[in-house]
């Protein structure tokens, strides 16, 4: 793809509806993970750019728009994203290393978020509350004001859709700091928003380093809400920064999510979910099912079924559109290789293979399935963020619950069983934000509230919950006698 033929210049910031040079004139080189080669340069935004963006957001006309007007603009953006899915997918494949089909799925999900929140913007309202004689009491849902959005590199379009889409629908204005390793789809999104007629200042995008642009955004006194998706380490810094300004924060952090397979499950139906949930986006997914808990009586059977699938997995350049692309960076590859080192001594069921087409300079790794891993082993406790899954045997339902809840994360979980009572019991016992019964992910529905407990974070995005999160409630009590 020819980056020079884009309808915007990717080396600029998007502030107040205009493409501008970063204030300090510094840039960062973006790498294509499939080749390890430089793709283009992007702005290395600084505190001055963040300050400019926050002021633009404070003065945007978007705050005067009606809910109907907001909905219409978001719906127009959604349609334009759909019209440009192929371009967005190609851009993401080059920038993030995502196989084209998966990148296309992310672009379609972005459109769907804009459609959902565009449709919802004039359907969310307060209520009236019966109260003392002579009073009328009602509540108003109001925007926070300027919301800051710091997103990671693994699903840029989906995360932009769910957080910027919901924030704009409620009438907030936004400043977005994409991950330095994955900025292109965020900039393309700004270009689409601008062409769709989103008023100046409603969306500002400042690419840059986390420690510079990101940190400046998190602690800017003009920000009224922060939505952060990323690692726990950075999440804690964001929460501390938000605390200084006493602003609310949504933290979507990591996970170590389990799928729990009982002997009565439909194993054929479970199989694709068991494998895909671990290798999608090369395992760089917060809700990856990196632990597969299997009842002992069917352990060998499930292990063999998964092993066969693993041996057929192919890894290669994003544009070749195989099962897995490369990891995002050399650094991420080293992190995953270090985890694999920790697995030395454990038995490996199977690995996938790297295609001959994959350049040596790309950041490829073989998907790896470990067998019979003790549940308290580091591989079964820590988020790896690569295509690595561990199989853990269990005997009883109580044991399964104990193992599932044994990490300090709590994002999602799934239960595979046809026993209805067990489904209900386990759904209550599992400590996490989403439970799936006889599926995993439910197709990722934008309608379904999503978020974690424990080290996976707090607050909810997606669905109507996100609209509550991106608004504040005012109670009005009128005495009229």
Q: Which residues are catalytic?
A: 252, 286
Taking CB under 6 A as the rule, does residue 381 contact ligand NAP? no
Contacts of 82 (CB under 8 A, 6+ apart): 108, 111
Site for ligand NAP in 276-295 (CB under 6 A): 286
Q: How far is it, in rounded angstroms, from Cα 259 to Cα 270? A: 10
Alpha helices in 322-417 (DSSP H): 330-342, 378-381, 397-404
Q: How far is CA 209 from the centre of its chain?
A: 19
Residue 211 interacting partner from Mg ion, ligand NAP, none (CB closer than 5 to 8 Å by kind): ligand NAP
The least distance separating Mg ion from the CB of residue 178, rounded to whole angstroms, comes to 11
Helix 156-169 to helix 67-83 angle (10° resolution) is 160
Which of residues 118, 143, 230, 469 is near ligand NAP by CB under 6 A?
A: 230
Q: Which is nearer to ligand NAP, 327 or 391 (CB)?
A: 327
Which of residues 94, 154, 280, 290 is near ligand NAP by CB under 6 A?
A: 154
Q: Which is nearer to Mg ion, 318 or 392 (CB)?
A: 318
Q: How far is it, in rounded angstroms, from Cα 229 to Cα 240? A: 15
The least distance separating ligand NAP from the CB of residue 166, rounded to whole angstroms, comes to 13
Residue 95 interacting partner from ligand NAP, Mg ion, none (CB closer than 5 to 8 Å by kind): Mg ion
- Longest Cα–Cα distance of the chain, Å, equals 81
Which of residues 116, 153, 364, 470 is near ligand NAP by CB under 6 A?
A: 153
Cβ atoms within 10 Å of 122's Cβ, excluding its own:
15
Which of residues 54, 110, 150, 358 is near ligand NAP by CB under 6 A?
A: 150
Which of residues 32, 227, 229, 250 is near ligand NAP by CB under 6 A?
A: 229
Which of residues 383, 401, 407, 471 is near ligand NAP by CB under 6 A?
A: 383
Q: Which is nearer to Mg ion, 181 or 461 (CB)?
A: 181
Nearest to 337 by CA among 365, 301, 313, 308: 365
Count of residues binding ligand NAP (CB under 6 A)?
Answer: 32
The least distance separating ligand NAP from the CB of residue 295, rounded to whole angstroms, comes to 28
Taking CB under 6 A as the rule, does residue 107 contact ligand NAP? no
Site for ligand NAP in 451-480 (CB under 6 A): 452, 457
Q: How far is it, in rounded angstroms, from Cα 82 to Cα 287? A: 25
Q: How far is it, in rounded angstroms, from Cα 406 to Cα 373? A: 14
Task: Return residues touching Mg ion (CB under 5 A).
Answer: 30, 95, 181
Q: Which is nearer to ligand NAP, 94 or 295 (CB)?
A: 94
Which of residues 57, 114, 193, 234 is near ligand NAP by CB under 6 A?
A: 234
Burial (0-12, 13-18, 19+ Cβ within 10 Å), 36:
middle
The least distance separating ligand NAP from the CB of residue 278, rounded to whole angstroms, comes to 14
Taking CB under 6 A as the rule, does residue 186 contact ligand NAP? no
Taking CB under 6 A as the rule, does residue 49 contact ligand NAP? no
Taking CB under 6 A as the rule, does residue 54 contact ligand NAP? no
User: DSSP states of 119-174 as a string?
Assistant: HHTTS----EE--STTEEEEEEEEE-SEEEEE--SSSHHHHHHHHHHHHHHTT-EE
The least distance separating Mg ion from the CB of residue 452, rounded to whole angstroms, comes to 26
Q: How far is it, in rounded angstroms, from Cα 281 to Cα 48? A: 34
Contacts of 346 (CB under 8 A, 6+ apart): 370, 371, 372, 373, 377, 379
Our CA angle for 284, 285, 291, nearest 5°, is: 95
Residues that bind ligand NAP (CB under 6 A): 150-155, 177, 179-181, 209-211, 214-215, 218, 229-231, 234, 237-238, 252-255, 286, 383, 385, 411, 452, 457
């Amino acid at each position: 793809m020819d980056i020079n033929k884009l309808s915007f210049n990717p080396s600029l910031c998007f502030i107040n509806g205009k493409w501008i040079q970063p204030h300090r004139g510094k840039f960062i080189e973006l790498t294509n993970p499939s080749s390890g080669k430089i793709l283009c340069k992007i702005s290395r935004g600084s505190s001055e750019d963040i300050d400019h963006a926050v002021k633009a957001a404070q003065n945007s006309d978007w705050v005067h728009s009606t809910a109907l007007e907001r909905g219409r603009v978001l719906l127009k953006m959604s349609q334009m994203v759909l019209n440009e899915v192929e371009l967005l997918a190609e851009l993401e494949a080059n920038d993030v290393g995502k196989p084209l089909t998966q990148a296309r799925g992310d672009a379609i999900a972005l459109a769907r978020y804009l459609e959902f929140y565009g449709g919802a913007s004039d359907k969310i309202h307060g209520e009236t509350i019966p109260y003392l004689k002579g009073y009328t009491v009602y509540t108003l849902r109001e925007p926070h004001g300027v919301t800051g959005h710091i997103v990671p590199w693994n699903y840029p379009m989906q995360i932009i859709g769910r957080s910027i889409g919901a924030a704009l629908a409620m009438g907030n204005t936004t400043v977005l700091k994409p991950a330095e390793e994955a900025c292109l789809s965020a900039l393309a999104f700004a270009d689409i928003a601008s062409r769709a007629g989103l008023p100046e200042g409603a969306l500002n995008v400042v690419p840059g380093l986390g420690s510079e642009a990101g940190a400046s955004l998190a602690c800017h006194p003009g920000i009224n809400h922060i939505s952060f998706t990323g690692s726990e380490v950075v999440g804690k810094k964001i929460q501390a920064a938000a605390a200084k300004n006493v602003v609310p924060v949504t933290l979507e952090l990591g996970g170590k999510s389990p799928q729990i397979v009982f002997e009565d499950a439909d194993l054929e139906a479970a199989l694709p979910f068991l494998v895909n949930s671990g290798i999608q986006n090369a395992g760089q997914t917060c809700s990856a099912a990196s632990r597969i808990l299997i009842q002992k009586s069917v352990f060998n059977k499930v292990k063999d079924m998964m092993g066969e699938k693993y041996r057929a997995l192919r890894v290669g350049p994003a544009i070749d559109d195989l099962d897995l692309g490369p990891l995002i960076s050399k650094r991420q590859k080293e992190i995953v290789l270090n985890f694999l080192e920790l697995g030395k001594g454990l038995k490996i069921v199977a690995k996938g293979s790297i295609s001959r087409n994959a350049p040596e300079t790309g950041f490829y790794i073989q998907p790896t399935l470990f067998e019979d891993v003790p549940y308290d082993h580091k591989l079964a406790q820590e988020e790896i963020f690569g295509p690595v899954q561990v199989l853990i045997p269990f005997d009883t339902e109580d044991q399964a619950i104990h193992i599932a809840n044994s990490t300090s994360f709590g994002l999602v979980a799934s239960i595979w069983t046809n026993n209805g009572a067990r489904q209900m019991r386990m759904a209550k016992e599992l400590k996490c934000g989403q439970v799936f019964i006889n599926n995993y992910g439910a197709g990722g529905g934008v309608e379904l509230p999503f978020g974690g407990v424990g080290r996976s974070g707090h607050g909810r995005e997606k669905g109507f919950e996100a609209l509550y999160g991106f608004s504040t409630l005012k109670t009005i009590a009128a005495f009229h006698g």
